[in-house]
Amino acid sequence: MSTTPAMSTGGCLCGGVRYAVRGALRDVIACHCSQCRRTSGHHVAASGAPSANITLLKSDTLAWYSSSDRAERGFCSRCGGNLFWRPTTGERAWTSIMAGTLDPPTHLKIRQHIFVADKSDYYTIADGVPQTAGDST
Ligand SMILES: [Zn+2]
Ligand SMILES: [Zn+2]
């Protein structure tokens, strides 16, 4: 989005992890897959940026968990905050950033719901944003 500031910052609840992102952030994709459900406690809402644009300002408590054979998730080992998702295949050129960890205002919008076929049954997606049963297109 053109309204995204040139530099964005964010971090976890306890402050053990802080990061800065240069340039535009992707609009938010909400992922309802089982892995996102179980790590976030609900569904994930993730922005993201080229990995090269992300600088870790503080990473004392940052830990990575291999959540599948093709991706890993960055979280704070002290406060438990979910921060990042990145593919472990290829060049790791992309990092998704959990949108709630960005310092507001983000000027972002949710643009898509993905893996809605895997969502849990206790909520309804009713925001009018496009949905796909599986991966983003
Ligand atoms: Zn923390
Ligand atoms: Zn997911």
> 94 pairs with which residues across the strands?
50
Q: For the residues 66-94, what does the mean pLDDT come to?
A: 94
User: pLDDT > 90: what percent of the chain?
Assistant: 91
| CA 76 / ligand 1 centre spacing (Å) | 5
44-78: pLDDT as tens digits: 999 999 999 999 999 999 999 999 999 999 999 99
Angstrom distance (rounded) from CA 29 to CA 4? 16
Cis preceding linkage at 105, omega within 30: yes
Entry pTM = 0.93
- Count of other CB atoms within 10 angstroms of residue 36: 25
Amino acid 130 reads P
Gyration radius (Cα) of the chain, Å: 14
| CA 86 / ligand 2 centre spacing (Å) | 11
9 pLDDT higher than 70: yes
Place of tokens 């991966």: 135
Six token digits for residue 81? 């905050």
1 pLDDT higher than 70: no
Q: Which ligand is nearest to the CA of 68?
A: 2
For residue 38, what is the DSSP state? H
